[in-house]
Amino acid sequence: MQAIKRIITKFLILMTVSLMLLSGCGEFKDIDKMVFVSMIGIDQTNDSKKPYKIILKLYVPTSSFRQSSTPQYSYLIKEGETLAEIISILESHTDKELDFGHSKMIVIGEEMLKNEKNKEILDFLIRRPDIQMISYVGMGRPNAEEILKFVPKGETALQPTLFNYFDNDGAESSYIITSFLFDFRRRLKAEDISPILPIIEIDKPTSHFIVDKSIVLEEDKPPYELDSQKTMLVKMLSGDAKNIFFSVNRENEHFVARLDNIKVNYNLKKGENNNLSLNVKIKLVGIITESKKNLSNKELPRYSKLLEEEMKEEVEQLIHELKNEGYDPIGFGLRYNAYTLPKNRMDSKEWMEAYKNAELKVTAKSSLKSTGSVQ
């Protein structure tokens, strides 16, 4: 027993001494040897040999928040033929290791989107394991570089303001479409739902971002832009909007309703000869927040009726427009396929034809609960 104990003691001493020989983690890079990328921007150049331009927005580390309360960023910009090549060259432009693990936003320039190189961009972004699948994707207008380089007033060193627009934490606007990288990928790959991206613009005089429009992509077609009202309706129909403000102007009434309980249901039925009928049912509950005239509590049912009519008209107009142009950001095609056996499904050409000629029926039901604090 004594002998064993002695052996164990000797062994432990030997182990402890051998720790001295360790040189630390040779393969692990310390945090001061790394620089964190906050946003990635991808732009199109005029040079056909070097079509891509990558802009990386890097955090400049500060020792404390008090020391520099205004944010500081540095930028790396490079043009080249392939994205991975550009990144590897950019790594030689900085003294530290580039870390993409904290990058939360990908901005694609407007020109780039028009040239339909999305699959190549996507391939690069997905293939790199350190780029988050939950990064936000957006389109930069006029290009990605300006969006990345723009620091709005009031931005603190804590976080770039642009993230707050999309994470539904700060701003909860129903005009902002949030598109994650994985969502962009699945829509781009699937034939029956079109990718939709928010458009990020800069409002120069007051110096802040505006994100209230969106752009719908489709293969072999130019991107299709939706203005803010249509963006809101698309978001509502996709079931993502928490609350919307909707203005009604008919029959001498002009009021704005805040609808905070929205339920949207749609289905597609196929009749003979690929005749599709598309039924959209919308249920709305809300209150009136503004009116040009005095309102009467008694007449709430009538206001609801007006709201229903207005909503029906606008939604019908939007869907007609989308299907005539052949874009499907809401995913009607996907819904149709979700209830159709594989052998009965249409191929994309037949589907496009059927979708264009689909018979649309929108029913809206709303109940306005109050006229607000005053009648």
Partner 1 sequence: MSRYYYYLILINMIANIISAVPTILLHYGSDGAVSGLLIGIMLGLAIVICFTKFFNAFPGKTFPEMLVETTAKWFYYPLLFFMAVLWFIAGVSTLITYTFMLIRYLTPDIPIMIIGLTLFVPIIFGCFMKTDRVLYAIEIVFLINFPLIIFIIIKAYTSKDLNWDFIKKSMLYIVQMPNINVVTSCIFLFLGVVNLVVFNRFFTHKQHFGLKQVVVISFIAVSTIFTTYFIPIGFHGLKSIDELIYPWVATSDSMRMRYFLIERLVYVFLLLYLAMAFLSILIHWHVAVELFKFIFKLEKLKLKGINVGNILLVALFAVCSLYLIVTLTEYQLFQYSIYLFNISSIIFFAKIMLFVYIARRLKGAGDQADNN
Residue 366 and residue 259 in contact, taking contact as beta carbons nearer than 8 Å: yes
User: CB under 8 A: which stretch of 88-96, 275-283, 333-341, 347-355 binds partner 1?
Assistant: 333-341
Of positions 130, 203, 219, 359, contacts partner 1 by CB under 8 A: 130
Q: Is 163 in the site for partner 1 (CB under 8 A)?
A: no
Q: Which residues contact 367 (CB under 8 A, 6 or more apart)?
A: 284, 285, 304
Of positions 17, 18, 129, 205, contacts partner 1 by CB under 8 A: 129
Cα gap 110→214, rounded to integer Å: 12
* Interaction residues for partner 1, span 52-91 (CB under 8 A): none
Q: Which residues contact 344 (CB under 8 A, 6 or more apart)?
A: none
Of positions 8, 133, 142, 275, contacts partner 1 by CB under 8 A: 133
Name the residue nearer to partner 1 (CB basis): 186 or 361: 186
Of positions 108, 110, 331, 351, contacts partner 1 by CB under 8 A: 331
Q: Is 99 in the site for partner 1 (CB under 8 A)?
A: no
How buried is 89 (Cβ within 10 angstroms: 0-12 exposed, 13-18 middle, 19+ buried)? middle
Helix (H) or strand (E) holding 255: strand 253-270
Q: Is 182 in the site for partner 1 (CB under 8 A)?
A: yes
User: CB under 8 A: which stretch of 59-67, 177-185, 285-293, 314-322 binds partner 1?
Assistant: 177-185
Name the residue nearer to partner 1 (CB basis): 262 or 368: 262
Q: Is 183 in the site for partner 1 (CB under 8 A)?
A: yes
Q: Is 28 in the site for partner 1 (CB under 8 A)?
A: yes
Of positions 338, 359, 369, 375, contacts partner 1 by CB under 8 A: 338
Name the residue nearer to partner 1 (CB basis): 189 or 302: 189
Single out the residue of 113, 120, 135, 138 nearest to residue 83, CA to CA.
120
Q: Is 171 in the site for partner 1 (CB under 8 A)?
A: no
In whole angstroms, how large is the CA radius of gyration of the chain? 27
Cα gap 39→41, rounded to integer Å: 7
Q: Which long-range contacts (CB under 8 A, 24 or more apart) does 42-46 make?
A: 42/83, 42/106, 42/107, 42/108, 42/109, 42/112, 42/121, 42/144, 43/109, 43/111, 43/112, 43/143, 43/144, 43/145, 44/109, 44/111, 44/112, 44/115, 44/117, 44/143, 45/79
Q: Is 309 in the site for partner 1 (CB under 8 A)?
A: no
* Interaction residues for partner 1, span 240-299 (CB under 8 A): 240
Q: Which residues contact 219 (CB under 8 A, 6 or more apart)?
A: 116
User: CB under 8 A: which stretch of 30-38, 47-55, 84-92, 129-137 binds partner 1?
Assistant: 129-137
Site residues for partner 1 per CB under 8 A: 27-29, 129-130, 132-134, 167, 169, 180, 182-183, 185-187, 189-191, 240, 331, 334-335, 337-343
